[in-house]
Amino acid sequence: MADAQVTPTTSATPPTSATSAAEARWRPAGRTRRSTRTLRVRTSALVMAVIVLAVLIVPPLAQLDQQAVDLSARLRPPSWAHPFGTDDVGRDLLLRCVYGLRVSLLVGLVAALVATVIGTAVGAAAGALGGWTDRVVMRAVDALSSIPHLLLGIFIVAMFRPGVWPVVVSVAVTHWLSTARIVRAEVLSLRGRPYVDAAVSGGASRWRVAVRHLVPGVLPQAGLAAVLMIPHAMWHESALSFLGLGLPAHQASLGSLVQSARGSLLAGDWWPTLFPGLLLIVPTLAIAGLAGAWRERLNPRRRSELTL
Protein backbone atom coordinates (compact mmCIF):
# COMPACT_ATOMS: atom_id res chain seq x y z
CA MET A 1 0.00 0.00 0.00
CA ALA A 2 1.42 3.21 -1.14
CA ASP A 3 2.07 5.76 1.44
CA ALA A 4 -0.46 8.55 1.36
CA GLN A 5 1.04 11.77 0.23
CA VAL A 6 0.64 14.41 2.86
CA THR A 7 0.45 17.97 1.60
CA PRO A 8 2.10 20.31 4.06
CA THR A 9 -0.20 23.03 5.27
CA THR A 10 1.14 26.51 5.60
CA SER A 11 -0.33 28.95 8.03
CA ALA A 12 -1.59 32.26 6.68
CA THR A 13 1.06 34.91 7.08
CA PRO A 14 -0.12 38.39 7.88
CA PRO A 15 0.52 41.01 5.20
CA THR A 16 3.60 42.87 6.24
CA SER A 17 4.94 44.47 3.08
CA ALA A 18 2.93 47.44 1.87
CA THR A 19 0.33 47.85 4.61
CA SER A 20 2.65 47.83 7.59
CA ALA A 21 5.12 50.12 5.87
CA ALA A 22 2.37 52.57 4.97
CA GLU A 23 0.95 52.50 8.49
CA ALA A 24 4.38 53.06 10.00
CA ARG A 25 5.07 55.90 7.65
CA TRP A 26 1.74 57.77 7.55
CA ARG A 27 -0.17 57.21 10.75
CA PRO A 28 2.22 58.97 13.14
CA ALA A 29 2.40 61.90 10.74
CA GLY A 30 -1.40 61.98 10.55
CA ARG A 31 -1.75 62.02 14.32
CA THR A 32 0.86 64.75 14.56
CA ARG A 33 -0.97 66.89 12.03
CA ARG A 34 -4.31 66.35 13.74
CA SER A 35 -2.85 67.36 17.09
CA THR A 36 -1.21 70.41 15.52
CA ARG A 37 -4.49 71.42 13.91
CA THR A 38 -6.37 70.97 17.20
CA LEU A 39 -3.78 73.08 19.03
CA ARG A 40 -4.06 75.78 16.37
CA VAL A 41 -7.86 75.89 16.61
CA ARG A 42 -7.86 76.00 20.41
CA THR A 43 -5.21 78.71 20.48
CA SER A 44 -7.10 80.80 17.92
CA ALA A 45 -10.36 80.41 19.84
CA LEU A 46 -8.66 81.38 23.10
CA VAL A 47 -7.08 84.46 21.52
CA MET A 48 -10.41 85.59 20.06
CA ALA A 49 -12.15 85.03 23.41
CA VAL A 50 -9.54 87.15 25.17
CA ILE A 51 -9.90 89.90 22.55
CA VAL A 52 -13.69 89.97 22.83
CA LEU A 53 -13.56 90.01 26.63
CA ALA A 54 -11.00 92.83 26.57
CA VAL A 55 -13.19 94.89 24.26
CA LEU A 56 -16.22 94.34 26.49
CA ILE A 57 -14.64 94.51 29.95
CA VAL A 58 -11.61 96.82 29.86
CA PRO A 59 -13.42 100.15 29.19
CA PRO A 60 -15.95 99.76 32.06
CA LEU A 61 -13.31 98.50 34.49
CA ALA A 62 -10.74 101.18 33.65
CA GLN A 63 -13.16 104.05 34.35
CA LEU A 64 -10.83 106.41 32.51
CA ASP A 65 -11.49 108.90 29.79
CA GLN A 66 -9.68 107.88 26.63
CA GLN A 67 -9.47 111.55 25.65
CA ALA A 68 -7.96 112.70 28.97
CA VAL A 69 -4.76 114.61 28.17
CA ASP A 70 -1.86 114.66 30.64
CA LEU A 71 1.18 116.36 29.13
CA SER A 72 3.26 115.55 32.18
CA ALA A 73 2.88 111.81 31.36
CA ARG A 74 3.52 112.00 27.62
CA LEU A 75 5.37 109.15 25.90
CA ARG A 76 5.93 107.07 28.99
CA PRO A 77 7.10 103.50 28.25
CA PRO A 78 5.01 100.47 29.28
CA SER A 79 4.67 100.09 33.05
CA TRP A 80 2.23 98.71 35.63
CA ALA A 81 0.31 101.98 35.60
CA HIS A 82 0.19 102.05 31.79
CA PRO A 83 0.76 98.52 30.37
CA PHE A 84 0.93 99.84 26.79
CA GLY A 85 2.56 103.16 27.76
CA THR A 86 1.19 106.59 26.84
CA ASP A 87 0.97 108.50 23.59
CA ASP A 88 2.38 111.89 22.65
CA VAL A 89 -0.19 113.80 24.74
CA GLY A 90 -0.17 111.51 27.79
CA ARG A 91 -3.27 109.43 27.03
CA ASP A 92 -3.31 105.80 28.17
CA LEU A 93 -2.45 103.74 25.10
CA LEU A 94 -4.05 100.50 26.33
CA LEU A 95 -7.44 102.15 26.66
CA ARG A 96 -7.18 103.83 23.30
CA CYS A 97 -6.08 100.59 21.64
CA VAL A 98 -9.05 98.77 23.13
CA TYR A 99 -11.43 101.46 21.88
CA GLY A 100 -9.77 101.34 18.48
CA LEU A 101 -10.04 97.55 18.38
CA ARG A 102 -13.73 97.86 19.28
CA VAL A 103 -14.28 100.12 16.28
CA SER A 104 -12.32 97.83 13.98
CA LEU A 105 -14.23 94.73 15.12
CA LEU A 106 -17.57 96.52 14.75
CA VAL A 107 -16.72 97.63 11.24
CA GLY A 108 -15.36 94.19 10.34
CA LEU A 109 -18.35 92.23 11.66
CA VAL A 110 -21.11 94.46 10.28
CA ALA A 111 -19.39 95.07 6.94
CA ALA A 112 -18.66 91.35 6.49
CA LEU A 113 -22.29 90.48 7.27
CA VAL A 114 -23.71 93.07 4.86
CA ALA A 115 -21.23 92.19 2.12
CA THR A 116 -21.98 88.47 2.52
CA VAL A 117 -25.73 89.04 2.24
CA ILE A 118 -25.29 91.15 -0.91
CA GLY A 119 -22.77 88.77 -2.47
CA THR A 120 -24.86 85.69 -1.65
CA ALA A 121 -27.99 87.23 -3.17
CA VAL A 122 -26.21 88.36 -6.33
CA GLY A 123 -24.22 85.16 -6.80
CA ALA A 124 -27.19 82.88 -6.13
CA ALA A 125 -29.40 84.83 -8.54
CA ALA A 126 -26.75 84.74 -11.28
CA GLY A 127 -26.08 81.04 -10.85
CA ALA A 128 -29.70 79.98 -10.52
CA LEU A 129 -31.10 82.02 -13.41
CA GLY A 130 -28.20 81.46 -15.80
CA GLY A 131 -28.36 82.66 -19.40
CA TRP A 132 -28.11 86.34 -20.16
CA THR A 133 -28.80 87.27 -16.52
CA ASP A 134 -25.69 85.38 -15.42
CA ARG A 135 -23.58 86.99 -18.13
CA VAL A 136 -24.76 90.54 -17.39
CA VAL A 137 -24.37 90.19 -13.63
CA MET A 138 -20.91 88.66 -13.79
CA ARG A 139 -19.68 91.24 -16.32
CA ALA A 140 -20.85 93.93 -13.89
CA VAL A 141 -18.98 92.16 -11.08
CA ASP A 142 -15.84 92.02 -13.22
CA ALA A 143 -16.15 95.73 -14.04
CA LEU A 144 -16.48 96.67 -10.36
CA SER A 145 -13.59 94.37 -9.44
CA SER A 146 -11.31 96.28 -11.80
CA ILE A 147 -11.64 99.37 -9.59
CA PRO A 148 -9.20 99.33 -6.62
CA HIS A 149 -11.05 98.78 -3.35
CA LEU A 150 -9.29 101.57 -1.53
CA LEU A 151 -10.00 104.21 -4.19
CA LEU A 152 -13.67 103.24 -4.34
CA GLY A 153 -13.85 103.23 -0.56
CA ILE A 154 -12.33 106.72 -0.36
CA PHE A 155 -14.88 107.99 -2.88
CA ILE A 156 -17.78 106.52 -0.88
CA VAL A 157 -16.54 107.80 2.48
CA ALA A 158 -16.06 111.30 1.04
CA MET A 159 -19.79 111.47 0.30
CA PHE A 160 -20.78 111.30 3.99
CA ARG A 161 -19.96 112.99 7.25
CA PRO A 162 -17.16 111.39 9.29
CA GLY A 163 -18.42 108.46 11.33
CA VAL A 164 -18.38 104.70 11.78
CA TRP A 165 -21.34 103.89 9.55
CA PRO A 166 -19.99 105.53 6.39
CA VAL A 167 -16.91 103.35 6.83
CA VAL A 168 -19.14 100.29 7.25
CA VAL A 169 -21.01 101.17 4.05
CA SER A 170 -17.75 101.78 2.21
CA VAL A 171 -16.23 98.44 3.24
CA ALA A 172 -19.44 96.48 2.61
CA VAL A 173 -20.03 97.94 -0.84
CA THR A 174 -16.47 97.19 -1.97
CA HIS A 175 -16.15 93.65 -0.56
CA TRP A 176 -19.19 91.67 -1.74
CA LEU A 177 -17.71 90.88 -5.17
CA SER A 178 -15.56 87.92 -4.12
CA THR A 179 -18.49 86.40 -2.22
CA ALA A 180 -20.68 86.70 -5.30
CA ARG A 181 -18.13 84.76 -7.36
CA ILE A 182 -17.79 82.04 -4.73
CA VAL A 183 -21.55 81.62 -4.34
CA ARG A 184 -22.15 81.57 -8.10
CA ALA A 185 -19.53 78.85 -8.59
CA GLU A 186 -21.08 76.79 -5.81
CA VAL A 187 -24.58 77.23 -7.26
CA LEU A 188 -23.39 76.08 -10.68
CA SER A 189 -21.89 73.02 -9.01
CA LEU A 190 -25.10 72.27 -7.13
CA ARG A 191 -27.24 72.58 -10.25
CA GLY A 192 -25.70 69.36 -11.57
CA ARG A 193 -26.52 67.31 -8.46
CA PRO A 194 -29.03 64.43 -8.81
CA TYR A 195 -31.44 65.75 -6.19
CA VAL A 196 -31.69 69.08 -8.04
CA ASP A 197 -32.40 67.23 -11.30
CA ALA A 198 -35.06 65.20 -9.49
CA ALA A 199 -36.69 68.35 -8.13
CA VAL A 200 -36.75 69.94 -11.59
CA SER A 201 -38.13 66.74 -13.14
CA GLY A 202 -40.84 66.69 -10.47
CA GLY A 203 -42.10 70.08 -11.61
CA ALA A 204 -40.48 72.36 -9.01
CA SER A 205 -40.13 75.97 -10.10
CA ARG A 206 -36.81 77.80 -10.24
CA TRP A 207 -37.72 79.79 -7.17
CA ARG A 208 -38.52 76.66 -5.16
CA VAL A 209 -35.34 74.91 -6.30
CA ALA A 210 -33.26 77.97 -5.40
CA VAL A 211 -34.86 78.42 -1.97
CA ARG A 212 -35.04 74.74 -0.97
CA HIS A 213 -31.85 73.34 -2.48
CA LEU A 214 -29.41 75.91 -3.87
CA VAL A 215 -29.31 78.62 -1.19
CA PRO A 216 -29.02 76.18 1.77
CA GLY A 217 -26.22 74.43 -0.09
CA VAL A 218 -24.14 77.59 -0.44
CA LEU A 219 -24.62 78.91 3.09
CA PRO A 220 -21.55 77.10 4.54
CA GLN A 221 -19.31 78.56 1.83
CA ALA A 222 -20.89 82.00 2.29
CA GLY A 223 -20.34 81.79 6.05
CA LEU A 224 -16.69 80.89 5.53
CA ALA A 225 -16.33 83.84 3.14
CA ALA A 226 -17.84 86.12 5.79
CA VAL A 227 -15.39 84.93 8.45
CA LEU A 228 -12.44 85.45 6.12
CA MET A 229 -13.76 88.90 5.22
CA ILE A 230 -13.71 90.18 8.83
CA PRO A 231 -9.92 90.74 9.06
CA HIS A 232 -9.91 92.11 5.50
CA ALA A 233 -12.55 94.65 6.50
CA MET A 234 -10.60 95.53 9.65
CA TRP A 235 -7.47 96.26 7.61
CA HIS A 236 -9.52 98.27 5.11
CA GLU A 237 -10.99 100.39 7.91
CA SER A 238 -7.53 100.89 9.40
CA ALA A 239 -6.21 102.01 6.02
CA LEU A 240 -8.98 104.60 5.71
CA SER A 241 -8.32 105.78 9.27
CA PHE A 242 -4.58 105.93 8.58
CA LEU A 243 -5.35 108.28 5.69
CA GLY A 244 -7.48 110.43 8.00
CA LEU A 245 -10.80 109.48 6.39
CA GLY A 246 -14.01 108.04 7.71
CA LEU A 247 -13.81 108.49 11.48
CA PRO A 248 -13.77 111.79 13.41
CA ALA A 249 -10.38 112.96 14.62
CA HIS A 250 -11.25 112.47 18.31
CA GLN A 251 -12.40 108.84 17.87
CA ALA A 252 -9.76 106.19 18.42
CA SER A 253 -9.00 103.74 15.64
CA LEU A 254 -6.08 101.39 15.19
CA GLY A 255 -5.22 103.02 11.88
CA SER A 256 -5.33 106.55 13.29
CA LEU A 257 -3.22 105.45 16.28
CA VAL A 258 -0.53 104.11 13.96
CA GLN A 259 -0.69 107.27 11.88
CA SER A 260 -0.32 109.59 14.87
CA ALA A 261 2.62 107.54 16.21
CA ARG A 262 4.86 107.93 13.17
CA GLY A 263 6.71 110.90 14.64
CA SER A 264 7.23 109.07 17.94
CA LEU A 265 8.68 106.07 16.12
CA LEU A 266 11.27 108.24 14.40
CA ALA A 267 12.23 109.60 17.82
CA GLY A 268 12.83 106.05 19.15
CA ASP A 269 9.53 105.57 21.00
CA TRP A 270 8.37 102.20 19.67
CA TRP A 271 5.33 101.39 21.83
CA PRO A 272 2.78 103.82 20.26
CA THR A 273 3.27 101.99 16.95
CA LEU A 274 3.87 98.42 18.13
CA PHE A 275 0.73 97.77 20.18
CA PRO A 276 -1.87 99.08 17.70
CA GLY A 277 -0.11 97.08 14.98
CA LEU A 278 -0.19 93.92 17.11
CA LEU A 279 -3.90 94.37 17.77
CA LEU A 280 -4.41 94.29 14.02
CA ILE A 281 -2.14 91.31 13.34
CA VAL A 282 -3.16 89.03 16.23
CA PRO A 283 -6.94 88.96 15.48
CA THR A 284 -6.13 88.40 11.81
CA LEU A 285 -4.04 85.32 12.61
CA ALA A 286 -6.62 84.00 15.08
CA ILE A 287 -9.49 84.35 12.60
CA ALA A 288 -7.36 82.75 9.90
CA GLY A 289 -6.72 79.76 12.18
CA LEU A 290 -10.44 79.28 12.86
CA ALA A 291 -11.33 79.74 9.20
CA GLY A 292 -8.72 77.17 8.18
CA ALA A 293 -10.35 74.56 10.42
CA TRP A 294 -13.76 75.45 8.99
CA ARG A 295 -12.42 75.09 5.44
CA GLU A 296 -11.04 71.64 6.19
CA ARG A 297 -14.40 70.61 7.65
CA LEU A 298 -16.22 71.81 4.54
CA ASN A 299 -13.83 69.90 2.28
CA PRO A 300 -13.57 66.33 3.62
CA ARG A 301 -11.36 65.20 0.73
CA ARG A 302 -8.73 67.80 1.54
CA ARG A 303 -9.01 66.97 5.22
CA SER A 304 -8.43 63.26 4.53
CA GLU A 305 -5.39 64.13 2.44
CA LEU A 306 -3.99 66.29 5.23
CA THR A 307 -4.37 63.52 7.82
CA LEU A 308 -2.41 60.92 5.83
Q: pLDDT digit string (tens) for 95-105?
A: 889 988 988 89
pTM score, two decimals?
A: 0.78
Task: Output the pLDDT for position 204.
Answer: 77
Region 138-144: mean pLDDT is 91
pLDDT of 304 over the 90 cut = no
Share of the chain above pLDDT 70, in %: 84
- The three-state secondary structure class of 87 is coil
Per-residue pLDDT tens for 89-136?
A: 888 888 889 988 988 898 989 999 999 999 999 998 888 888 898 899
Q: First vs last Cα of the chain: how many Å apart?
A: 61
Tell me the pLDDT tens digit for each residue of 233-263: 899 888 888 888 878 877 888 888 888 888 7
Q: Which amino acid is at 191?
A: R
Answer whether 246's CB lies under 8 Å from 166's CB. Answer: yes
Q: What is the mean pLDDT of residues 272-277?
A: 90
CA distance 44 to 46: 5
Instruction: Dump pLDDT digits (tens) for 164-187.
Output: 888 899 989 988 998 999 999 988
